[in-house]
Amino acid sequence: MKPHTPPIANAPYAWLLDPLSTSTFEDEFYERRHRVVHRQQPNYFESLLTFADLDHVLGTHALRFPDISLVRADETAIDASRFTGPAGVAEPLEVTRLFDEGATVIFRGLHRRLPQLAALCVALGQRFGSRIQTNIYLTPPEAQGFKPHWDTHDVFVMQVSGSKRWSVFESPIALPLRGQKCNPDVDRPGRTIDEFDLHAGDFVYLPRGLMHAARSVDTASLHITLGLTAFTWADFLADAVSAAALENPALRANLPVGFASGKLTPEETATLARQHFDLALDRSFEDVWRRFASEVSAANQPLFSDLLTQRADQHLVNEDTVVIRREMAIHSYLSQNECVMCFAGQELRFPLHVAEAIEFICANERFTALELPGPLDTAGNLTLIRRLAREGLLRSHHERSRLK
């Protein structure tokens, strides 16, 4: 397949929102209200996804349910047996036949198969501290995939091809947690607060909990839904209390005898609860923050499509070879006598004297061994760079630096 040119590789988040600024989006819309951006650029998202990409994945990746599924608005889902063979692999001819009959085809988690989608997920995951995933929706003309519903995560909807007519409704719940899912057969939409068409190149941001529905018009519609599953303060407090309970026996003690029989007054129960909650909060939360950061790092990874090539070419990396840090969530911290670097769901441990070089690598996208600060000599810096290349963090640019 023809390789994609990444969307403004150095600023994918700004590219996604343009012409809306990132500061305006975060100050006025993020978690607050929806925002539609119209562009007169139908090829805007072509670098992210094409019909040729979908054909390639459908025809060669041996997709299984639920990585591929089909739905209609009048059905919760089309049974997978209708489009998979005896081995459970999707049959492209059956998928396209059902599409011709009005079914929406959903490709889940395509960022795990297409590098350009993975790169966008990594960039947004770094910015928002969220776990990011993609769902791709291919809807035939004049069709609707889902009844009005809300999502328990924020979404960016990027219209790649065709058009869809959207309706946004007043919703009964704001910022729902993951367990507060919509039941479209029970939860009815409120007053319509906006209606609009998304054309190729346009996008809409929908905060979680906002009820919505969409229907294709006179052409087939292809769009990318980018979902942001964030950590909430409820997640943080629950983990903080659990972590404190592992350290403090008072938080592991049973509730008072007779608490359920009305023996304690409401004032007494409130006092006891606050006392124990204060015990839980009287500690450092660094470990909780770190665990959440590690989950973001593990969830948002680029597709490693050149690791063997890098190993074959590693002898080409010398003191003035430019190396590039892959776009991924990365952080480091000091722990006792070690410097710990976290990325791609793994922790690498180094002696403390390497900390200055590690901090530099975390903060810079490209550099040479000669530019690394700290007490290591050039040979030591090359050893560090080559190790991080083997671990997947760095890749060589095969360019000679002119900065010496």
Query: H or E segment at 385?
Result: helix 378-390
- How far apart CA 101 and CA 117 sit, in angstroms, is 29
- Stronger pLDDT, 123 or 403, i.e. the higher one: 123
Q: Which fold is adopted by the domain 12-229?
A: Jelly Rolls (2.60.120)
Q: Are strands 321-325 and 221-229 parallel, antiparallel or unpaired?
A: unpaired
Most confident of 21-25, 290-294, 321-325: 21-25
> For the whole model, what pTM was predicted?
0.84
Contacts from 356-360 at CB under 8 Å and sequence distance 24+? 357/381, 357/384, 358/332, 359/332
Residue 21 clears pLDDT 70, i.e. is over it: yes
Name the residue ranges covered by the structural domains of the chain: 12-229, 239-287, 307-400
Whether the predicted pLDDT of 6 surpasses 60: no
Q: pLDDT tens-digit profile of 187-229?
A: 999 999 999 999 999 999 999 999 999 988 888 999 999 999 9
Predicted pLDDT of residue 76: 67
* C-alpha to C-alpha distances, 167 to 185, 206, 303, 387, nearest whole angstrom: 18, 11, 35, 52
3-class SS at 8?
Answer: coil
Tens-digit pLDDT profile for residues 130-178: 999 999 999 999 887 678 999 999 999 999 999 999 999 999 999 999 9
pLDDT tens-place string over residues 350-399: 999 999 999 999 999 899 999 999 999 999 999 999 999 989 999 886 54
The reported pLDDT for the residue numbered 74 is: 66
Q: How far apart are CA 190 and CA 27, in angstroms?
A: 26
Please tell me the distance from the alpha carbon of residue 360 to that of residue 274, in angstroms, as a whole number. 43
Q: What is the DSSP letter of 383?
A: H
User: What is the residue whose two structure tokens read 């998304």?
Assistant: 198
Which of the two residues, 300 and 211, has the higher pLDDT score?
A: 211
Q: Which pLDDT value is given to residue 309?
A: 81
Q: Which amino acid, residue 356?
A: E
Lowest mean pLDDT among 83-97, 265-279, 321-335: 321-335
The strands making up 192-199's β-sheet, listed across from edge to edge, are 192-199, 163-169, 211-216
- Fold match between domain 12-229 and domain 307-400: no
Q: What architecture (CATH level 2) is domain 307-400?
A: Alpha-Beta Complex (3.90)
